[in-house]
């Protein structure tokens, strides 16, 4: 249910409606792709990618400390609540992003929403090993992502109905209806999160010391030491860092690729994103079944290979039909690779550990840093070469490195079930 709650942010704010609205505000005000910001003139797509990079850098810097503290004090759920309310209220704040004169506010709220979303996930993900037996990691992780895709599509359709029929609902303009949809995202996020907060277990309270923050650092240091003695876990994190750079950058910036490179109208882009969500739900289910038969390593390697093909295809795509076909493939492997990555990491965590939040902080720090490098490099290459096609091609390199590192993992926990016998 928390996937159901937070995925509306991923779809409406990061992937569909907000990027289109942001682009419209920037172009309407200046008449070009270049906008003034803090005394500089910069491409609107580059500025947006840099803002995303900054938000994930902030999260990566503070999560190891917070997750260690949450493990020690038993306040995992409380920390999760703080980030949920930060993210959802920031989404609501986007209602006041009315034009180029409030661009700073729009970027600030989008950064804070990103911090809230990413920060909540480290605590949410850490519940997986505590509420599910290992043989169900793949299935439950995939079910969570599927629920997220279904829930986000429902609210997305509601938002589209409001925006496309704004007069019938009493809005003065399409922009006002669009900004109202940001309010709906925040309300949806908070309300359905309450379901998760009511049913997720409270963590065992361990005690309190005078300097709890020192204990937080100590918990993180213990995890770092354990990584040195668990080479397969360390290899997976390194592999995940590289291939997730590509996955998340495509997810966050695909909309801007469609508008800037192919000049697709907003209604076609949003329709494509809806298609991706529905296909992704099926993909998460499908690759959970593949991993059950062939193992996580095989399923992940297959999907990473597909991602490499997507990057090369994006360089050459020049027609909207090709873009739709590419989007279908992205949807299929997007849901699978995210759910299986989380489940694979959970399988590689040392047995009998109780510091799940601290372990998952490393996973989520890796996740966030990969987005920092991915989105920043994407924006930098776009700025230097003047073409997003070159940025898309560069992502293929990250996937290749991730694939090579993944194939060096020897653990039987993620190999084919038949190989264990």
What lies within 8 Å, CB to CB, of 381 at 6+ separation is 390, 391, 394
User: Do 371 and 249 contact (CB within 8 A), yes or no?
Assistant: yes
Structural domains counted in the chain:
1
The answer to whether position 171 is within a domain reads yes
Structure tokens given for 325: 């076909």
- CA distance linking residue 371 with residue 52, whole number of Å: 8
Averaged pLDDT, groups of 10, the chain, 421 residues long:
92 81 76 69 77 80 71 77 95 92 88 88 80 82 84 90 90 92 96 93 58 64 78 90 88 67 71 78 84 88 92 83 84 85 85 69 79 81 79 88 90 58 27
The answer to whether position 283 is within a domain reads yes
Residue 419's pLDDT is what? 42
The answer to whether position 172 is within a domain reads yes
- CA distance linking residue 67 with residue 219, whole number of Å: 9
The answer to whether position 21 is within a domain reads yes
Residue 68's pLDDT is what? 64
Q: Which domain holds residue 149?
A: 2-201+211-420
The answer to whether position 206 is within a domain reads no
- CA distance linking residue 27 with residue 67, whole number of Å: 41
The answer to whether position 395 is within a domain reads yes
Residue 352's pLDDT is what? 67
Output the pTM of the full model: 0.73
- CA distance linking residue 341 with residue 145, whole number of Å: 12
CATH of the domain at 309: 1.20.1250.20
The answer to whether position 385 is within a domain reads yes
The answer to whether position 186 is within a domain reads yes
Q: CB-based burial of residue 229 (10 Å sphere; 0-12 exposed, 13-18 middle, 19+ buried)?
A: exposed
């Amino acid at each position: 249910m928390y996937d159901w709650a937070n995925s509306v942010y991923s779809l409406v704010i990061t992937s569909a409606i907000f990027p289109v609205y942001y682009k419209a505000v920037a172009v309407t005000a200046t008449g070009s792709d270049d906008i003034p910001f803090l005394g500089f003139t910069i491409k609107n797509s580059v500025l947006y990618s840099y803002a995303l990079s900054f938000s994930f850098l902030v999260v990566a810097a503070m999560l190891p400390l917070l997750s260690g503290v949450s493990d020690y004090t038993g306040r995992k759920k409380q920390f999760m609540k703080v980030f949920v309310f930060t993210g959802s209220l920031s989404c609501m704040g986007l209602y006041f992003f009315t034009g180029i004169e409030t661009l700073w506010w729009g970027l600030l709220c989008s950064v804070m929403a990103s911090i809230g979303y990413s920060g909540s996930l480290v605590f949410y993900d850490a519940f997986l090993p505590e509420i599910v037996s290992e043989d169900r990691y793949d299935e439950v992780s995939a079910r969570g992502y599927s629920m997220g895709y279904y829930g986000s599509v429902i609210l997305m359709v509601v938002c589209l109905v409001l925006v496309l029929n704004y007069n019938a609902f009493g809005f003065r303009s399409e922009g006002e209806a669009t900004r109202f949809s940001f309010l709906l995202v925040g309300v949806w996020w908070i309300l359905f999160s309450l379901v998760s907060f009511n049913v997720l277990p409270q963590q065992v309270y361990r005690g309190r010391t005078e300097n709890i923050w020192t204990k937080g650092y100590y918990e993180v240091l213990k995890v770092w030491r354990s990584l040195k003695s668990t080479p397969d876990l360390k290899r997976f994190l390194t592999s995940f860092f590289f291939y997730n750079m590509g996955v998340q950058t495509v997810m966050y910036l695909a909309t801007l690729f469609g508008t800037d490179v192919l000049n697709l109208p907003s209604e076609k882009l949003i329709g494509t994103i809806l298609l991706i969500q529905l296909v992704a739900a099926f993909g998460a289910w499908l690759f959970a079944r593949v991993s059950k038969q062939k193992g996580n390593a095989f399923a992940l390697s297959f999907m990473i290979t597909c991602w490499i093909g997507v990057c090369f295809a994006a360089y050459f795509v020049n027609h909207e039909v090709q873009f739709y076909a590419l989007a279908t493939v992205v949807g299929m492997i997007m849901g699978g690779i995210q759910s299986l990555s989380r489940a694979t990491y959970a399988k590689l965590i040392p047995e009998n550990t109780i510091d799940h939040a601290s372990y998952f902080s490393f996973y989520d720090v890796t996740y966030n840093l990969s987005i920092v490098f991915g989105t920043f490099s994407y924006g930098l290459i776009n700025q230097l070469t003047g073409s997003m096609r070159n940025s898309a091609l560069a992502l293929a390199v990250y996937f290749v490195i991730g694939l090579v590192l993944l194939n060096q993992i020897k653990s039987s926990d993620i190999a084919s079930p038949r190989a264990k016998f």
